[in-house]
Structure 1
């Protein structure tokens, strides 16, 4: 685990803001999914699903402390509920599942490795855990095996690309602006350069 795993008030505020911002973006992303689903069919959810994992990646990379991925997804879910999402309180379970999938990968590194391959693994971790959850919730066992494999592969690719790679580029762009100065990511980058 990190030498400094205690959360500061600033860490909590940053993750809260990220959760709120991405909660709004997640609600908007539902519209993208609905339009794409009308055009491309049911596997569209798996193609776009990775974006709903992105805050867990971004928060974890910036804060670098246990719980950042999970906490950020729960806050994004809570924001969606407060904004009137028709999914209601079930979104908290969804946020918990998605955040836990990413958090498990960071935990496996003892919250010490935030390089792109680990981020990709975290996005895939969120995809796998969310796939199990949606399998149970929507009775995927009734689907054809070929369709299930396609959905699973698409969701994992989406988690890797829309969740992790896009999340990585967003964090790097934010870091270059200087707004992450003094945060754990900044300390880690400065230490790596020393």
Structure 2
């Protein structure tokens, strides 16, 4: 966290706490979807659990933002009572590493929609690889597992990538991010 400003750490932490609550709120939604569609139900909305990593990285634009925000959110979610317990922190770290990998591949220089979608997809790939071994997906039919994987990766692109950009851009329009990289970028675009 070298070269991080206090305000960046505070905003990342606040976002992480807010999304920890959002993550808990979406668990029942996932359970309903699983009731209708089986294990793939969670994969349809899994991108919601990657979104803070995309938002934090898009706003702050520094190495580590995606990983740290997702790790903090998972830790807070455990503290708030997620039944998975401490293993969830490892899942959050893996999701954050996936998103971080997406940004690292651009050397932290690109934060356009495609990069955000790619980072969301990478979070999906990393989390699915972890879930494959952790949750016993190998016992399911190969075609079904492939559909689960595709659903999770698309969810990462659309919910985390597109949704994260939309939420961040809306927040930037209010002016509260004017001293952050995203806010400065938006000001330059409006001035041009």
TM-score (norm 2): 0.95
Per-residue CA distance 1:81-127 (angstroms, 9 max, x = gap) = 11111111111101100000000111111111000000010010000
Number of the residue aligned with 1:152? 149
The unaligned stretches of length 5 or more in structure 2 are none
- Give the superposition deviation at 1:189: 3.4
User: In the TM superposition, what are the counterparts of 1:53-132 in structure 2 within 5 Å?
Assistant: 53-132=50-129
Number of the residue aligned with 2:168? 171
Q: Report if the CA contact (8 A) 2:52-2:66 is conserved.
A: yes
- Give the superposition deviation at 1:191: 4.7
Per-residue CA distance 1:24-74 (angstroms, 9 max, x = gap) = 000001011112211222210111111100000000000000000001101
Q: Answer yes or no: is 1:34 the counterpart of 2:31.
A: yes
Q: Answer yes or no: is 1:134 the counterpart of 2:131.
A: yes
Aligned partners of 2:31 and 2:139: how far apart in 1? 23
Aligned-residue CA RMSD in angstroms?
A: 1.3
Q: Report if the CA contact (8 A) 2:47-2:157 is conserved.
A: yes
Q: Answer yes or no: is 1:52 the counterpart of 2:42.
A: no
Where do 4+ consecutive residues of structure 1 move more than 2 Å? Answer: 187-194
Say which is worse superposed, 41-50 or 117-126, in terms of deviation. Answer: 41-50
Q: Report if the CA contact (8 A) 2:172-2:186 is conserved.
A: no
Number of the residue aligned with 1:17? 14
Q: Answer yes or no: is 1:182 the counterpart of 2:179.
A: yes
Q: Report if the CA contact (8 A) 2:96-2:123 is conserved.
A: yes
User: Alignment length, in residue pairs?
Assistant: 190
